[in-house]
Amino acid sequence: MIELAFLIKEEEDKELKKLLEQAEYQFVDILLEQINSIQSKVEDALQDDFEELQELIDGLLKNFGNKQPTEKQIRKFIKNRSFNSKLNDQLIPELEEVFLLLLEAFQEFYESGGQLDKQSESYKELSAWLNELPELLQGTTDDAVVRVVGKHYEKDDEEKEKGLSLAALWIFGYARARTIAIQELLRMYSGSQFESMMLDDEVIGIKWRHADGVKEPRPTHVATDGTIIAKGELFYINGVFLRYPRDPQAPISETINCHCFLDPIYYYRYESGAKRRTFEEKEVLANRIYESARNRKSDIRRVAKHSGMRKSDIKKVYRHMFINEYDLLSGKKRFDPDIDMAESWQRLFLGKNVQKHDIIMLRHELMESKLMNKKGLSYRDAHKKVNETWNYENALDEYKDKLEGK
């Protein structure tokens, strides 16, 4: 029997590894090793909880006899046990270590730097989730025990005399332990992947990816596959805002059994061996950044702060780039989103990795705005004249040449 159990476990690991590799997850061997380690700890905790609860339930039935206890009385009777403390002492520290291990692996994989800020909102929320996890798991166990005790009192007296065994309940089983281990490991995976992107100054956008080969995938998650957002934005899925797959702030209905992951989109640098961004990715990202700038209220203040320019001047630049309509070759309209200018604006908005050509862009757009709105120059004439003083294209080319080592 034990040998059969090991064979089943080995086959499950092979299947999980195949799924993770097919879904393009990174560090699959690390994930499998940590899933098994955490599963073992959860199984031990569930087994200890079963033994403790069985003793408490035996005492409960003896204490109440044929009189059925209320739900409140049952919960009070089984409340004080060691399940929470065991998970807090063993499971939570290991999950925290896995998070940091994966964060380091992602930073090395993406060739990114940056020091984790443990006061960041996303990290604090992930830590809060871990602290609440033992209580949430115990709550699920308590709900199941309350139900089974209630059903026990629906039996006839002869059946009641046999007592109540909790041994067959799913809440103490292998399947639950494995599900918890996989779910929480993948949550640490997504959280560390997200943090690595936030710490990388050259990441400008994030793409949601739905894993292939998942049984019974969520249609809304499949539909989100390939969706690109600008860095700092949120994904909107099924009426819920998420920063990343299995975001602890999202409802459990949107995170349980989710196997999605993220891809970073860079300003210009690409990690070795990676494909360059497609034209479609550039177009989508440029449109997202322009649309975000139009919808946010903080852009003018933040860009002024990060550029050192006056708010009144940045307001003119903002309106010129994103709001005003002009007589252009294709008719009266706003300027079309430009990926390079979008990236410059996003760096200035975030206040990270701001480049010389980003400031030149602001100066260029400010002067161009004055020539077009006050002097009545056409876009072509204004652009040509401004380039004599503030040539954004030349500065951008110098930046790209430098990145490519030319």
Query: What digits encode the pLDDT tens for the residues 351-385?
Result: 878 999 999 999 999 999 999 999 999 999 999 99
Compute the distance between CA of residue 252 and CA of residue 216 in angstroms, rounded to an integer: 17
The residue that leads in pLDDT, 253 or 28, is 28
Residue 249 neighbours by CB distance under 10 Å: 16
User: What tokens were used for 378?
Assistant: 């056409």
Dihedral angle computed from the Cα positions of residues 303, 305, 309 and 310, in that order, rounded to the nearest 10 degrees: 100
* Statement: residue 2 has pLDDT above 50: no
Q: Which of 28, 26, 2, 21 is nearest to 108 (CA)?
A: 26
Q: Give the per-residue pLDDT at 361.
A: 97
Q: Give the per-residue pLDDT at 214.
A: 66
Please spell the DSSP secondary structure of 134-179, one letter per residue: HHHHHHHHHHHHHHHHHHHTTS-HHHHHT----TT-GGGSHHHHHH
* Statement: residue 3 has pLDDT above 70: no
* Maximum alpha-carbon separation in the chain: 98
The confidence band for 269, taking pLDDT boundaries of 50, 70 and 90, is very low
3-state helix, strand, coil in the chain (%, to 5): 65, 5, 30
What pTM was computed for the model? Answer: 0.73
If you average pLDDT over residues 86-95, what whole number do you get?
A: 89
In the predicted model, what is the mean pLDDT of the chain? 87
Query: Residue 40 is which amino acid?
Result: S
Lowest mean pLDDT among 33-42, 260-269, 312-321: 260-269
Compute the distance between CA of residue 161 and CA of residue 163 in angstroms, rounded to an integer: 5
Query: Residue 256 is which amino acid?
Result: I
Compute the distance between CA of residue 384 and CA of residue 390 in angstroms, rounded to an integer: 10
Say if residues 38 and 163 touch (Cβ distance below 8 Å).
Answer: no
If you average pLDDT over residues 95-110, what whole number do you get?
A: 91
8-12, 98-102, 248-252 — most confident range? 98-102
User: What tokens were used for 324?
Assistant: 């005003």
The confidence band for 9, taking pLDDT boundaries of 50, 70 and 90, is low
* Bridge partners, 326 (sequence order): 333
Say if residues 262 and 278 touch (Cβ distance below 8 Å).
Answer: no
Q: Give the per-residue pLDDT at 328.
A: 87
Compute the distance between CA of residue 31 and CA of residue 102 in angstroms, rounded to an integer: 9
Q: Which of 41, 40, 47, 36 is nearest to 13 (CA)?
A: 36
Q: For 202-223, write each residue's pLDDT tens digit.
A: 787 899 998 876 666 778 888 8
The confidence band for 254, taking pLDDT boundaries of 50, 70 and 90, is confident
Can you state the angle between helices 356-373 and 339-350, rounded to 10 degrees? 110
Compute the distance between CA of residue 380 and CA of residue 387 in angstroms, rounded to an integer: 11
Contacts of 380 (CB under 8 A, 6+ apart): none
Compute the distance between CA of residue 300 and CA of residue 294 in angstroms, rounded to an integer: 11
Would strands 331-333 and 326-328 be described as parallel, antiparallel, or unpaired?
A: antiparallel
Q: For 130-188, write each residue's pLDDT tens digit.
A: 999 999 999 999 999 999 999 998 888 778 888 889 998 999 999 999 999 999 999 99
If you average pLDDT over residues 276-305, what whole number do you get?
A: 84
Alpha-carbon distance values, 165 to 53, 55, 141, 171, 392 (Å)? 10, 10, 14, 13, 75
Buried b / exposed e along 126-139 (16+ C-beta atoms within 10 A): bbebbeebbeebbe
The residue that leads in pLDDT, 90 or 281, is 90
Q: For 116-135, write each residue's pLDDT tens digit.
A: 888 888 889 999 999 999 99
* Statement: residue 56 has pLDDT above 60: yes
Q: Give the per-residue pLDDT at 55.
A: 94
